[in-house]
Copies of this chain bind each other. A is one copy, B any other.
């Protein structure tokens, strides 16, 4: 028995919790690359406007890019049904209680999308400002949405998501007149956590600022 007291002596070792996920993420990334697809992992609190932004994006890109959507929710397919009205191919993942998507789930969802016909895939993560950050899905880019009504103080309280992403999008800018959202302070807080992530401000409802977002997407896909 004395031989089996070390990592190399047959005793099982619990490895880094993310490694099974990271392996699946690597497979997703390879598969997306093989199809020349840019994948964007979209994260935010519940109700920050992920689905509404994606619907406006599908519409704006309809003549230039073929877009597919992976929808993540704890339960229901109401978001997938909204997306389906645009005509874009969409797959719903229900986590059944889980507070984030993981790479194996996304891998399974990609099997149901017509990858040969797509240029971009948006992965709408579960509405959550905490859990999704830790899980690589195999995306090319990570984007965080923060809606005006949530308040400018969120980078203090949820720093990890702002540190992790390639872009921060402030949504529902049409509500700015009715709320005390300090945009300069918000930008400063994000820059403190993540000097490289641009901060865009838009309203998918009114169209204000949508051009900046579409330009950013276009630059990543170039």
Contacts and interface: CB of A to CB of B under 8 A. Distances in A.
A127 interface: yes
Interface stretch (A55-63, A105-113, A146-154, A208-216): A146-154
Interface of A: 45-47, 73-76, 78-79, 97-99, 126-131, 147, 149-151, 153-154, 156-160, 172, 174-175, 178-179
Contacts of A175: 149, 175, 178-179
Instruction: Give the interface centre of A74, A78, A157 by most chain B CB atoms within 10 Å.
Output: A157
A78 to B, nearest CB: 5
Contacts of A159: 74-76
A74 B150 contact: no
A206 to B, nearest CB: 11
Instruction: Give the interface centre of A46, A76, A150, A175 by most chain B CB atoms within 10 Å.
Output: A46
A47 B47 CA distance: 10
Contacts of A127: 45, 129, 157-158
